[in-house]
Amino acid sequence: MTLSIGASLQNGLRRSATRSGLVVFLLTLVYQIVLIAATNTLAVDLLQQIGVDDVPAVGVTLPVSTPVAAAIAVGALLFGLASYPISVRLLSREQTALATLPRSLFTRRCGRLVVSTLAVTLVMTPPIVLGFLLIVPGLYLAVSLQFTVFAIATEDAGSLTAFRRSWTLATGNRWRLLGMLLVVAALIGLASGLGTLAAAISPAAGQVVAAIATAAAVVVTYGVLADAFRQLGGEPPTRRRQTPPGVDPSPM
């Protein structure tokens, strides 16, 4: 199937402007603000410990000790890891279902979902990062593997199956997917630029504005990728499992 970039961008915006999109926005915003504040707190503590007398303003901080700030930072990272596949589940459903928030979207195989997401992230990141040093290999891998977590979150695919699923979906559409990713990358870059402008007022203002703008850009990005996944994927390749009455199957 040939990907329609225009349809994905348009439908991605529509997906973002829903109740599910709002939840994804809030999850992303909370993760960013807490992580930024904890990281800033650690930075200030480190500067004070090495004897810096005039510690510069670093932005949003927390009134906690260094160990507590470190624990909060780790917790924020874990929260971000868990919220990514949950966000994918929320936005990858039928458009008409995005106004609902069934509990099963947040609880179904939650442990397996987080572990699988962590596993594929650890496997994908090093070769993609190394590939970006040569530009073309990194872009090729990033485009080919971008639907891996979507397969895990919406089809309950295992890690290896999810890699193969993403690679198959990207085949024949890599140039279109690359163009679509460049559009959303520009959107995220714009969000970062808004934070830079706000930083002229104060570092804290810049960080808050950047977090809000980035969270909005991330929601749109997930929405666009979700529509592309649905366009290219159709029905999952595996046999449909029977779903007990009253349980939301979280369809693609």
Q: How far is CA 77 from the centre of its chain?
A: 12
Query: For the CA atoms of 92, 97, 101, 102, what is the dihedral angle to 10 degrees?
Result: -90
> Which segments of 92-173 does DSSP mark as H helices, in order?
104-107, 110-132, 136-144, 148-155, 159-170
Q: What is the pLDDT of residue 136?
A: 78
Q: What is the pLDDT of residue 128?
A: 79
Beta-carbon neighbour count of residue 58 at 10 Å?
18
Low-confidence ranges of the chain (pLDDT < 50): 235-252
Cα 164-186-138 angle, rounded to 5 deg: 35
65: helix, coil or strand?
A: coil
- List C-alpha distances in Å: 182 to 185, 199, 229: 5, 26, 17
Q: What is the pLDDT of residue 234?
A: 59
Q: What is the pLDDT of residue 237?
A: 43
Cα distance between residue 91 and residue 48, in whole Å:
44
Q: What is the pLDDT of residue 184?
A: 80
Cα distance between residue 14 and residue 94, in whole Å:
12
pLDDT tens digits, 95-152: 999 999 999 889 888 888 889 998 998 888 888 777 777 777 888 888 899 999 999 9
